[in-house]
Amino acid sequence: MIPALMPTYNRADLVFDHGNGAWLVTADGRRFLDFGAGIATSSLGHDHPHLVGAIAAQAARVIHVSNLYRVPQAERLAERLVAATFADSVFFCNSGAEANEGMVKAMRKTMHDTGRPERFRVICFEGAFHGRTLAMLSATGNAKYLHGFGPVVDGFDHVPFNNMNAVRDAIGPATAGILIEPVQGEGGVRPAQLQFLRALRAVCDEYGILLGMDEVQCGMGRSGRLFAHQWSGIEPDVMSAAKGIAGGFPMGAVLAREQVARHLTPGTHGTTFGGSPLACAAANAVLDVMLEPGFLAEVDRKARRLWADLTTLAAEFPDVIEGVRGAGLLLGLKCVVPNTELQQAATAEGLLSITAGDNVLRLAPPLVITDEDCAQAIAMLRRAALRCRPSAGRIAAK
């Protein structure tokens, strides 16, 4: 018989009762170091007093009022995001896929309203992940996710990642813009070359098309900057954020330059839940922490140290780990053994991680991890790698 909870996930048999910082504790008292952070989402870790306090205080006042009224928490959050980024205006919604839908709608509407209605197509990249709605499945373009869901939504073209010639070849009279993750997450923790991002900006300017960025996973501090594209020195025209934006409370956002945002006029786009007082109180609390002087520099410092330790580990276990990739605290171990094998061994050692495409094991810890947490994670991974050594397997099998 089918479980009452629809079985769309193969869940690990772990029940977490509570957490603190980067640690989660099961109902039966086992402690796990959370280097998955609820898929790069619990950015401030667990039981962060400032976030918990902000949510509790707002919940006791008013949770939801709809977007038919002014929401000061949303106005303040939008002003802060505008001040910290390229954007002039922000739309709040509830998830990454919904933010990406809003971004693509904004791109199409901009073209339509500026006399180029034939330009509706968006160039996307191989290895991308943009979400699970029908249109974002099509933007993702991965056969594994599309299979069985009928005709692909039209309007998305795919080219190889980090390949400028392919991008130029794909631009046609129907192209509205380009959509890229500055660091591909689900696809295998692959960063775009900074020079590639700069070339995308230039080609968009050359053709008068829009540059859209999906920073749902790599944004909100994870790269060591507030948004990952900031490392490249260029700016998109429109961008999505979600995952870590409210520290685990569901929220998405579309950030846009005025030239794009002004086309989403009243009645053209909407959401019932998006930008509620509660969600925005959570996101404002997250921003309070992330915008504190030194916070992002500290993320960068911890990330570089972790990267160095992981590189050493990979060199120690070349028959288990081929190499390290990623940016900031979105790190991937390209595996030689199946990534699920290393993941299971790590879980057995008390370390939670996430698999990604291209046989990569993804590490996306809370941004508040301590040096001691990192040292423990490396020790756990070392023991996990020992278990996964092909030679260890052969000895065990005898």
Ligand X SMILES: *Cc1c(COP(=O)(O)O)cnc(C)c1O
Residues in the site for ligand X, rule: CB under 6 A? 95-97, 100, 129-131, 181, 185-186, 214, 216-217, 242-243
Nearer to ligand X, 131 or 332 (CB): 131
Nearer to ligand X, 129 or 317 (CB): 129
CB of 206 to ligand X, least distance (A): 26
Nearer to ligand X, 185 or 332 (CB): 185
Instruction: Work out the angle between the directed axes of helices 371-388 and 295-316 (0-180°, nearest 10).
Output: 20
Cα 232 to the center of its chain, rounded Å: 18
Nearer to ligand X, 129 or 231 (CB): 129
How far is the C-alpha of 153 from the C-alpha of 177, rounded, in Å?
Answer: 17
Q: Report yes or no: 337 and 391 within 8 Å, Cβ to Cβ.
A: no
Nearer to ligand X, 37 or 216 (CB): 216
Nearer to ligand X, 97 or 331 (CB): 97
Give the CB-nearest residue to ligand X.
Answer: 96
CB of 187 to ligand X, least distance (A): 9
Q: CB-based contacts of 324: which residues, under 8 Å, 6+ apart?
A: 307, 310, 311, 314, 331, 332, 333, 334
Could you tell me which residues are beta bridge partners of residue 240?
214, 254
CB of 95 to ligand X, least distance (A): 3
CB of 158 to ligand X, least distance (A): 15
CB of 301 to ligand X, least distance (A): 24
CB of 361 to ligand X, least distance (A): 16
Q: What is the DSSP letter of 46?
A: B
Look at residue 40 and give its three-state secondary structure. helix
Nearer to ligand X, 162 or 376 (CB): 162
DSSP state string for 96-123? HHHHHHHHHHHHHHHHHHTT-TT--EEE
Q: CB-based contacts of 172: which residues, under 8 Å, 6+ apart?
A: 121
CB of 321 to ligand X, least distance (A): 23
CB of 240 to ligand X, least distance (A): 7
Distance (Å) of CA 228 to CA 50, 329, 371, 382: 25, 11, 22, 29
Amino acid at 297: A
Q: Is the dihedral of CA 81, 280, 248, 301 positive or negative?
A: positive
Could you tell me which residues are beta bridge partners of residue 398?
none
CB of 317 to ligand X, least distance (A): 28
Instruction: Work out the angle between the directed axes of helices 277-290 and 49-61 (0-180°, nearest 10).
Output: 160
Nearer to ligand X, 23 or 156 (CB): 156
DSSP state string for 283-294? HHHHHHHHTSTT
Nearer to ligand X, 81 or 384 (CB): 81
